[in-house]
């Protein structure tokens, strides 16, 4: 089944390379949510997430004429997302205070305890070094395998494993007082 999906996605990418808007729409529907999840776990700002997802697809459309099926389409698309995130990371840090204010406004007061836990987890993930955070998000929230994460980030699988292990250890330490 996975191989069939990958073949279908490769076919879609090749059709997008040929400027097929229908194939582009299909890829958009396949990857909109996984990309939004990826970005949300990195920035916690829904409006920024929407902008980043749109930018990934804009870049995908522009880069499509150069696409060669040397990697899985998911790797290609998440590589675009990763590169975009690197470009946005500096801007994100400058906007962090403003983003935190918006996140607090979204927390429902009736679920204060849940909101506090969510905020603690968010802060613990935000405190992770960038490389560890990206590996963790791609693995835990997007379900990607270590080899694919390595391809996306351009690092060896062993580095992916050590970054995720380190991230989990840091999170355990940061969150050990919570139940």
The number of folded domains in the chain is 2
Report yes or no on whether pTM surpasses 0.75: no
Residues 75 and 120 in one domain: no
Query: In 3D, which of 173, 94, 160, 152 has the Cα closest to residue 133?
Result: 160
Query: In 3D, which of 23, 34, 9 has the Cα closest to residue 143?
Result: 34
Domain of 11, CATH number, reads 1.10.1740.10
Residue 4 domain flag: yes
Q: Which residues contact 127 (CB under 8 A, 6 or more apart)?
A: 170, 174
For residue 39, give its domain range.
Answer: 1-95
Residues 75 and 136 in one domain: no
pLDDT tens digits, 103-148: 555 544 446 777 777 888 888 888 899 899 999 989 888 888 999 9
Residues 75 and 119 in one domain: no
Domain of 161, CATH number, reads 1.10.10.10
Residue 100 domain flag: no
pLDDT tens digits, 51-68: 999 999 999 999 998 888
């Amino acid at each position: 089944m996975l191989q069939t999906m990958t073949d279908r996605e490769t076919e879609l990418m090749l059709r997008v390379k040929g400027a097929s808007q229908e194939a582009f729409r299909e890829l958009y529907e396949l990857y909109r949510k996984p990309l939004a999840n990826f970005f949300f776990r990195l920035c916690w700002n829904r409006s920024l997430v929407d902008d980043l997802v749109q930018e990934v697809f804009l870049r995908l459309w522009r880069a499509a004429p150069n696409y060669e099926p040397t990697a899985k389409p998911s790797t290609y698309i998440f590589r675009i997302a990763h590169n975009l995130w690197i470009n946005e990371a500096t801007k994100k840090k400058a906007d962090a205070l403003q983003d935190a204010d918006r996140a607090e406004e979204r927390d429902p007061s009736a679920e204060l305890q849940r909101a506090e836990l969510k905020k603690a987890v968010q802060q613990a993930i935000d405190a992770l070094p960038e490389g560890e955070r990206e590996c963790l998000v791609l693995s835990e929230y997007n379900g990607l395998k270590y080899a694919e994460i390595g391809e996306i980030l351009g690092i060896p699988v062993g580095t992916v494993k050590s970054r995720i292990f380190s991230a989990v250890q840091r999170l355990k330490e940061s969150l050990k007082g919570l139940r």
